[in-house]
Structure 1
Amino acid sequence: MDMFRVAHATAADWRQAANACLAQIGDIPAEASLGFLYVTDHLAGDLPAILGFFKEQTDIVNWVGSVGVGVCATAQEYNDLPALSLMIADFPIDSFRVFPAIKSDIDEFSGHRAWCEQADARFAVVHGDPRNPKTPAFIAELAETINDGYLVGGLSSSRGPNFQIAGGLTEGGLSGVLFSSRVPVATGHTQGCSPLGQKHQITECRNNIAIRIDDRPALDVFNEEVGEVLARDPGRAAGYIFAGFPIKGSDTGDYVVRNLLGVDAENKLLAVGGYLNPGDTIIFCKRDIRTAYEDLLRMLRDIKSRLGGRPKGGVYYSCLGRGVHMFGADSAELRAIRQELGDIPLVGFFANGEISHNRLYGFTGVLTLFS
């Protein structure tokens, strides 16, 4: 597992972009066994032809990937452009296993369980369909199925087809590639929001509606946290203030971020983009570019300290609300990764939800390095 090669390009015609990528990769070693392929949604309709082209030109059968509004590669982001990024690697053929989409029940994965036991598989790179309401449950169930394993990846983000790649094209569920414990990896997770104040408890709710928080009207608690200006004009909080749910047992203060969908000023209710239960802990968070960048650097330095040497390659999944929308132009987020880790082969995309361990997140970045 010594060969990782990355390529990326943008062009109005997919054939031009694909040929540019082949030129960057050069001669394809016979040992190349697995490819990662990400295309922007401008090229989503062409993905069947793109995948067929790379299979034919590289003789690599096993591919995984997805569609994103943006894709990324080493120190480079492509946002709202026709672009693709890919990476090929020479993993031992018996050290990984591609699996198709789990669409309706985790039992659809049963044919791969024997391999997981034999290979001691505890890690997977996965891609999910945001249209399937069962996808978050599949993430948790798959992690449990592979010996309480660790998943990384993201949900497709597309204004057209939400394709994933798992050998061939698939959609509608959760798919990806499993790795044997023989493949060493290191992962990191960075938040894009920072807490505004203290933790609160939901004391009364209905589905996704918070009725009372800390046994007070939910909207009163929210208004106190966000301040007078936003309290007078809740519409200004959209895309800036979020609900965070701390993860029980986390020793890093980790939390899941969900959108605020609206308020009912008359009844003092708060609608959240997730199902609520009485007793849940909730914190209010804000998008904070400075602290998000600082947390990105913290994550990168932490993962670097855990590596035994220079990584051989990696994959990165960032929220579509990050990248150019949070850190600005000139590929600032991806350049920060290169600044801290060096010029390593890296690919990924900007997702409609990021997957880390056994949960679906939002407004985060998830990095995995192969060493």
Structure 2
Amino acid sequence: MLERWQDAVDQCAEQIASQPWSGNLGFIYTTDSHVDALAEIVPRLKDKTGIPHWVGTTGIGILRTGHEDYDQQAMTVMACGFPETSFRVFPAVQDDLDDFDHQHRGWFGDNIQNFAVVHAAPESPDLQQLIPDLSEMLNGGYLVGGLTSSRSRNLQIADTVTSGGVSGVLFSEKVPVCTGLTQGCSPIGPKRTITEVSRNIVLRIDGRPALEIFKEDIGETLAADLARTAGYIFAALPVVGSDTGDYLVRNIVGIDAENGLIAIGDLPQKGTQIMFCRRDGTTARDDLVRMLKQIKDRTSKAKPRGALYFSCLGRGRHTFGTNSEELGFIQEEFGDLPLVGFFANGEISHQRLYGYTGVLTMFL
């Protein structure tokens, strides 16, 4: 185990230097043990590798080809070589997209921007609105990424260390990619409709007390001991217009047994559809295999050159096992493909913020 962050950076730089080509963009993910050194890590990486642009963040766990690293000092990097005008790193965007538009308008005019890798600070206000707004700014561009996870400060990297909002890198159509999303929870009841709500507190579902519906759907055993539902049962909000049955998993953050209310980690509206779901290891494995085979089929004519994977903190060792089994499935399907990523506080795919999912992106 490397005890000094300088040693980790130098080892990464040596591995990059051994390659017969030079890169111009790097992805870096470190465990949160390195958070206090990030401001020194980034310039040292630039100096040692000659790669001018870096994006990334910290995670309570990080990912590399076939391996998951937790609870230790660890760092993973991937060097990429793209056409010089095909990407553009952008610093943190918080609430003023007008400034973002002004700063990048020239690049937008020269490129059809359709894809971005983004990292976000989980404490940022209005994040669930900022993500679709940013996608809309990119003419409906596809976003992939995740929310920083850390036991201390939440920091991101976009050429320099930053915090707050959303930062990352934009790609033009000159960079072909293939993405997929896999769910980690399975529905346990029918789609229902929220008929009365106050912010994140759901009062009535299908015209009945919300807690009554919740107990009905989870079954008698769990309904008799609601404490057992924590971390196991979640709310699911079906994505309107999805032809794949997609849904957003949200935590149940409170139950008011006296008044028959439940509180969820979102701000649904009256008329929003809702289901309840459970964390399910078998479903998670089956759906991961499905996604991998689907991506394999879609990339059969263009061999992937590298990959990014963003998985939920609730997956990995908590769902698949403690021996990097989740990353093992990917390696089994794609071999020793260069891959980096991290375990996130929330996953971003297209223009939505997910939970308990995995988001895989292949560079072709």
**Please, what TM-score do these two structures have when normalized by structure 1?**
0.95
Of residues 118, 123, 134, the one that matches 1:126 is 118
- Cα distance in structure 2, aligned partners of 1:64 and 1:55: 12
Q: Over residues 51-100 of structure 1, what are the superposed CA-to-partner deviations in whole Å (9 max), with x where a residue is unaligned? A: 12111101111100001101111111101211010000111111100011
Q: Which letter maps to 1:57?
A: K
**How far does residue 28 in structure 1 lie from its aligned partner after superposition?**
5.7
Aligned-pair distance for 1:27?
3.0
Partners of 2:149 and 2:109 lie apart in 1 by 33
Among candidates 66, 73, 82, match of residue 91 of structure 1: 82
Cα displacement (A) at 1:20: 2.7
Answer yes or no: is 1:163 the counterpart of 2:155: yes
Residues of 2 paired with 1:194 and 1:340: CA distance? 23
User: CA-to-partner distance for each residue in 1:119-157, whole Å, 9 max, x for gaps?
Assistant: 101100000011111222221011111111100000100
Cα displacement (A) at 1:29: 5.4
- Larger mean Cα displacement after TM superposition, 302-311 or 289-298: 302-311
Amino acid at match of 1:104: D
* Mapped partners of 2:353, 2:240: distance in 1: 15
C-alpha distance after superposition, 1:323-348 (max 9, x if no partner) = 11111111111110011122110100
Which residue pairs with 2:358 in the alignment? 365
Aligned to 1:355: 348
Structure-1 separation of matches of 2:274 and 2:95: 30
CA distance in 1, matches of 2:227, 2:3: 38
Q: Give the structure 2 partner of residue 104 of structure 1.
A: 95
1:76 maps to which residue? 67
In the other structure, the counterpart of 1:5 is none
Q: Note if contact 2:10-2:48 (Cα within 8 Å) is conserved in structure 1.
A: no
> 1:62 and 2:53 equivalent?
yes
Which residue of 37, 40, 65 maps to 2:28? 37
1:267-306 aligned at under 5 Å gives the runs 267-306=259-298
Conserved 8 A contact 2:119-2:168 = yes
* 1:223 equivalent in structure 2: 215
Distance 2:66 2:90 in 1: 29
Looking at structure 2, the residues matched to 142 and 193 of structure 1 have their Cα atoms a distance apart, in angstroms, of 27
Deviation, 1:30, is 6.0
**Aligned 1:144-163 pairs, distance under 5 A:** 144-163=136-155
- Which residue does the alignment assign to 1:141? 133
Code of the residue aligned with 1:197 in structure 2: it is G
- Range that drifts further, 322-331 or 282-291: 322-331
What is the CA–CA distance in structure 2 between the aligned matches of 1:122 and 1:46, rounded to whole Å? 33
Give the whole-Å Cα distance in 2 for the aligned partners of 1:21 and 1:76.
Answer: 16
* Residue 10 (structure 2) pairs with residue 27 (structure 1): no
Q: Is the 8 A contact 1:28 1:58 kept in 2?
A: no
Gaps (5+ residues) in structure 2?
none
Identity of aligned residues (%): 53
Report the counterpart of residue 325 of structure 1 in structure 2: 318
Once the two structures are TM-superposed, the CA of residue 184 in structure 1 deviates from its matched residue by: 0.6
Asked if the contact 2:16–2:49 (Cα under 8 Å) also holds between the matched residues in 1, the reply is: no
Q: Deviations over 1:180-206 (max 9, x none)?
A: 101110000000100001111111111
Please give the alpha-carbon distance, in whole angstroms, between the structure 1 residues aligned to 2:84 and 2:10.
26
Unaligned runs of at least 5 residues, structure 1: 1-9
* Partner-residue secondary structure (3-state), 1:122: strand
- Aligned-pair RMSD on alpha carbons? 1.2
Distance (whole Å) between structure 1 residues aligned to residue 154 and residue 340 of structure 2: 19
Q: Which residues in structure 2 correspond to 1:132-281 (within 5 Å)?
A: 132-281=124-273
Do 2:42 and 2:159's aligned partners in 1 also have CA atoms closer than 8 Å? no
Q: Is the 8 A contact 1:113 1:146 kept in 2?
A: no
| 2:295 alignment partner, SS class | helix
- Which TM-score applies when normalising by structure 2? 0.97
In 2: Cα distance, 1:29 partner to 1:146 partner: 34
